[in-house]
Structure 1
Amino acid sequence: MAVKNQVQLITYPDSLGGDLKALNNILMKYFSDIFKGGIHILPPFPSSGDRGFAPLTYLEIEPEFGTWEDIRAIGENFDVLVDLMVNHISQKSIYFQDFLMRGRKSEYADLFITLDKVWEDGAPVKKDVEKMFLRRKVPYSTFNIEETGEEEKVWTTFGKTEPSEQIDLDIKSDKIKQLLTDFLVNFSKQNVKIVRLDAVGYVIKKLGTSCFFVEPEIYEFLDWIIELANSLGIELLPELHSHYRVQNRLADHGCWIYDFILPYTILDTLINKSSEKLCEYLKNRPSKQFTMLDCHDGIPVKPDMDDLIDTKEAKKLVDVCLERGSNLSLIMSDEHKGLDGFDVHQIRCSYYSVLNCEDDAYLAARAIQFFAPGIPQVYYVGLLAGKNDVENVNKTGEGREINRHNFSLEEIEQSLKQEVVQRLLTLIRFRNEYIAFNGEFEVLESQKDEIKLLWQKDDKYCTLYIDLKTDKSVIEYIDEIGKKALYVV
Structure 2
Amino acid sequence: MSISNGVQLITYADRLGDGSIESLNTLLNGPLAGLFKGVHLLPFYYPYDGEDAGFDPIDHTSVDTRLGDWSHVKKMGESVDIMADLIVNHMSAQSRQFRDVLEKGRESAYWPLFLTKQDVFTDTDETKTNEQIANVFRPRPTPFFSDYEVAGSETVPFWTTFTSNQIDIDVESELGKEYLSSILTSFTESNVDLIRLDAAGYAIKRAGSNCFMLEETFAFIEELSKRARSMDMQCLVEIHSHYQTQIDIAERCDSVYDFALPPLVLHTLFTQDASALAHWLSISPRNCFTVLDTHDGIGIVDVGPSGDKPGLLDNASIDALVEQIHVNSKEESRKATGAAANNVDLYQVNCTYYDALGKDDLNYLLARAIQFFSPGIPQVYYGGLLAADNDMELLAKTNVGRDINRPYLSTADVEAAIEKPVVKGLIELIKIRNDSNAFNGDFSVSYNDKLLALNWAHHSDTACLEIDFNTMSAVIDITDAGKSTTITISELLG
Instruction: Give the structure 1 partner of residue 427 of structure 2.
Output: 425
Deviations 1:53-84 (A, max 9, x none): 10112221111211111111111111111101
One-letter code of the match for 2:171?
A: I
In the other structure, the counterpart of 1:371 is 373
> CA separation in 2, counterparts of 1:364 and 1:344?
28
Given candidates 86, 89, 92, the residue that maps to 2:88 is: 86
- 1:214-233 correspondence to structure 2 within 5 Å: 214-215=214-215, 217-233=216-232
Of stretches 187-196 and 136-145 in structure 1, the one that deviates more from structure 2 is 136-145
Which residue pairs with 2:34 in the alignment? 33
Following superposition of structure 1 onto structure 2, how do residues 190-339 of structure 1 map, counting pairs within 5 Å? 190-215=190-215, 217-306=216-305, 307-323=311-327, 324=329, 325-327=332-334, 329-330=337-338
Q: Distance in 1 between matches of 2:319 and 2:152?
A: 52
Alpha-carbon distance in 2 for matches of 1:304, 1:88: 27
Structure 1 position 101 matched with structure 2 position 108: no
Check 1:469–1:389 CA distance in 2 against 1; reply closer, same or farther (3 A cut).
farther
Question: Which 10-residue stretch deviates more, 126-135 or 375-384?
Answer: 126-135
Q: Which 4+ residue blocks in structure 1 deviate beyond 4 angstroms?
A: 121-124, 328-331
Pairwise CA distance, 1:123: 8.2
Supply the AA of the counterpart residue of 2:84.
V
Question: Pick from 144, 150, 172: which aligns with 1:139?
Answer: 144
Query: 1:344 Cα deviation (Å)?
Result: 6.0
Shift of 1:230: 0.9
Q: Deviations over 1:382-426 (max 9, x none)?
A: 000111111111111111111000101111111011011111111
Verify the 8 A CA contact 1:115 1:122 in the aligned structure 2. no
Aligned twin of 1:458: 459
> 1:243: Cα distance to partner?
0.9
Structure 1 297/360 Cα, relative in aligned 2: closer, same or farther at 3 Å?
Answer: same
SS at match of 2:348: strand
Return the offset for 1:220: 2.1
Indicate the larger mover: 94-103 or 306-315.
306-315
The one-letter amino acid paired with 1:11 is: T
| Contact map agreement 1:360 1:472 (CA 8 A) in 2 | no
2:21 match = 20
**1:362 corresponding residue in structure 2:** 364
How far the C-alpha of 1:360 sits from its partner, in A, is 0.9
Tell me what 2:158 maps to: 154
Kindly state the Cα deviation for residue 129 of structure 1 after the two structures are TM-superposed: 1.2
Question: How far 1:121 sits from its partner (Å)?
Answer: 6.3
- Counterpart AA for 2:230: S
Task: Give the Cα separation in 2 of the matches to 1:26 and 1:254.
Answer: 33
Partner of 1:177: 177
Q: Within 2, Cα distance between the matches of 1:206 and 1:85?
A: 20
Distance 1:112-1:254 versus aligned 2 partners, 3 A rule: closer
Give 1:120 deviation, angstroms: 2.4
SS in 2 for 1:152: strand
Deviation at 1:447, TM superposition (A): 2.0
Tell me how large the CA RMSD over aligned residues is: 1.7
Q: Which residue of 2 aligns with 1:5?
A: 5
Q: C-alpha displacement at 1:304, in angstroms?
A: 4.7
Checking the alignment, whether the CA contact within 8 Å between 1:114 and 1:153 is kept in structure 2 is yes
What SS class does the counterpart of residue 29 from structure 2 fall into? Answer: helix
Aligned length: 469
**How far apart are 1:223 and its partner, in Å?**
2.3
The SS at the match of 2:312 is coil
Matched, 1:475 2:482: no
* TM-superposition CA deviations, 1:182-240 (whole Å, max 9, x none): 1101110011111100000001111111111111x112212221121011111111111
Identity %: 39
Inter-CA distance 460–66: structure 2 relative to 1 (3 Å threshold): same
Q: Larger deviation: 241-250 or 219-228?
A: 219-228
* Separation (CA, whole Å) in 1 of partners of 2:267 and 2:254: 28
| CA distance, structure 2, for counterparts of residue 455 and residue 149 of structure 1 | 65
Establish whether residue 49 from structure 1 lines up as the match of residue 64 from structure 2. Answer: no
Mapped to 2, the partners of 1:172 and 1:452 lie a distance apart of: 46
Q: Is the contact between residue 302 and residue 344 of structure 1 (CA under 8 Å) also seen in structure 2?
A: no
Give how far 1:96 is off: 0.5
2:437 to 435, 438, 459: 435
Question: 2:446 corresponds to which letter in structure 1?
Answer: L
Which structure 1 segments of 5+ residues have no match? 332-342
In structure 2, distance between residues paired with 1:451 and 1:464: 8
Q: Which amino acid aligns with 2:107?
A: K
TM-score, normalised to structure 2, is 0.92
Distance 1:372 1:122, change over 3 A: farther
User: Deviation of residue 469 (structure 1)?
Assistant: 4.5
Residues 352 and 358 in structure 1, CA contact (< 8 A), matched pair in contact too: yes
The alpha-carbon deviation at position 326 of structure 1 amounts to 1.6
Contact 2:222–2:252 (Cα < 8 Å) also in 1: no
Give 1:255 deviation, angstroms. Answer: 3.3
Partner Cα separation in structure 1 for residue 185 and residue 77 of structure 2: 16
Can you give the 5+ residue segments of structure 2 that lack an aligned partner in the other structure? 306-310, 340-344, 490-494
Instruction: Tell me the distance in 2 between the aligned counterparts of 1:469 and 1:55.
Output: 50
User: Over residues 144-185 of structure 1, what are the superposed CA-to-partner deviations in whole Å (9 max), with x where a residue is unaligned?
Assistant: 12x3421111111001xxxx0100000120111011111101
Q: Deviations over 1:267-290 (max 9, x none)?
A: 000111111111111111111110
The amino acid across from 1:130 in the alignment is: A
- Verify the 8 A CA contact 1:129 1:138 in the aligned structure 2: no
Q: CA deviation at 1:291?
A: 0.3
